[in-house]
Amino acid sequence: MNQLLMENARVLTLDIGTEARTPRRGSELKNLGVIERGWVRVQDGLIDAVGAGDAPSSKHARIDLEGRVLMPGLVDCHTHACWSGCRFDEFDLKMAGASYLELLAEGGGIMSTVRATREATEEQLIENLCHRIEQMARLGTTTIEVKSGYGLDTETELKMLRAIVAAGERMQTTVVPTFLGAHAIDRDQPNFVETMINETLPAVAEAFPGITCDAYCEEGAWSLEQCRRLFEEAQSLGCPLRLHSDQFNSLGGTRLAIEAGARSVDHLEATSPAELSLLAHSETMGVLLPCSGYHLDDRYAAGRTLADLGGAVALASNCNPGSAPTPSLPFAIHLGVSRCRLKPAEAIVAATFNAACVLDVQDDRGSIEVGKRADLMVLDSQDERSLGWEFATPGPRLVLIGGQIHDLSPLGG
List CB contacts of 231: < 8 A, sequence separation 6 or more: 213, 215, 241, 256, 260, 262
Q: DSSP secondary structure string, 304-320?
A: HHHHHTT--EEE-----
Per-residue pLDDT of the chain (413 residues; tens, 9 = 90+): 579 999 999 999 999 887 779 999 999 999 999 999 999 999 999 999 999 999 998 888 999 999 999 999 999 999 999 999 988 877 788 788 888 778 777 777 888 999 999 999 999 999 999 999 999 999 999 999 999 999 999 999 999 999 999 999 999 999 999 999 999 999 999 999 999 999 999 999 999 999 999 999 999 999 999 999 999 999 999 999 999 999 999 999 999 999 999 999 999 999 999 999 999 999 999 999 999 999 999 999 999 999 999 999 999 999 999 999 999 999 999 999 999 999 999 999 999 999 999 999 999 999 999 999 999 999 999 999 999 999 988 889 999 999 999 876 444 43
Distance CA 23, CA 14 (A): 12
Strand 46-52 vs strand 34-43: parallel, antiparallel, or unpaired? antiparallel
CA atoms within 13 A on the CB side of 157: 26
Q: Sketch the domain layout of the chain as residue ranges.
A: 3-72+367-405, 75-358
Q: Which is the CATH superfamily of the domain at 3-72+367-405? A: Urease, subunit C, domain 1 (2.30.40.10)
Alpha carbon 240 to its chain centroid, in Å, reads: 16
Whether the CB-CB separation of 324 and 317 falls below 8 Å is answered with yes
pTM: 0.96
Distance CA 176, CA 182 (A): 18
Distance CA 161, CA 146 (A): 9
CATH number of this structure's domain 75-358? 3.20.20.140
Q: Residue count of the chain, please give it.
A: 413
Q: DSSP secondary structure string, 7-43?
A: EEEEEE----S----SPP-GGGGG---EEEEEEEEEE
Q: DSSP secondary structure string, 50-114?
A: EEESSPPP-SSEEEE-TT-EEEEPEEE--------S--HHHHHHHHTT--HHHHHHTT-THHHHH
